[in-house]
Each structure stands twice: as C-alpha cells, then as structure tokens.
Amino acid sequence: MAEELMKPGEKQLEEIRGYLFDLLDNLNDISVKHEKLLASKGIMPKLAVLLGMITMQRYQIELVMKYYWKQLEETINSMSQLQEIQGELGDVLQDVQKIKELASLAGLQI
C-alpha cells in the first residue's frame, strides 16, 4: 500500500540510497587502506572532501546526484586507473553502475 502512495521515481530514489550507503562504506574502507597511495596520486584530497559532503547530504539523493555525483564518478574513474587497487574496486564499480541505472529510471539528470 505504501508503494501506491509513492510519487514516480521515489522507489528508485530509495533504492539509490541503499547503493549509495554501500558505495560510501566501500570508498571509505579503500581510502583508509590506501591513503598514502591515493595521496601520492593527488586523489585523496578530492575523495575526502567528496565523501564528507556526500555523507552529510546522503538522505537528499537529488542533491547528491545534482551537485556531487559527476565529481565522485570522475574520482572513482581516476582510482580505477591505479593497478594497486583495481582488484578492490569491483563492488564500488557495481554500485556506481546500479546507481546510474536507477537514477535514469527515476528521471534524474546526472
């Protein structure tokens, strides 16, 4: 019954939230584990700021997608170029893909 009362795209936004939380957890773990490597490549400062901002706004999915998503995706793409952590980015890349699919279904511009 609750789903009947949802506006178009709200279900997808709720699903995005779950994937976003998982993505943030995985990125935080990687940033702690590989802090020196990410800092030496110039990725860590941007990643740290993005993780902080997105974590503060994590319940406002539209805001996250509008203002932070593109930068986060670019940062993740930079991380995926590093051979030392490529093997640990599988879950991150899956979350990114699922979030993009759901955002498209929800009609969000990213």
Domain ranges of the chain: 10-104
Rounded to whole angstroms, the Cα distance separating 15 from 3 reads 13
**pTM for the full predicted model:** 0.89
Nearest to 18 by CA among 59, 75, 74, 65: 59
pLDDT number for residue 65: 94
Query: How far lies 98's CA from each of 5, 44, 55, 103, 110, in Å?
Result: 24, 24, 19, 8, 13
pLDDT number for residue 5: 61
pLDDT number for residue 2: 54
Question: Over its length of 110 residues, how does the chain's per-residue pLDDT go in tens digits?
Answer: 455 666 767 899 999 999 999 999 999 999 999 999 999 999 999 999 999 999 999 999 999 999 999 999 999 999 999 999 999 999 999 999 999 999 999 888 77
pLDDT number for residue 6: 61
Q: What is the DSSP letter of 6?
A: S
Rounded to whole angstroms, the Cα distance separating 57 from 73 reads 16
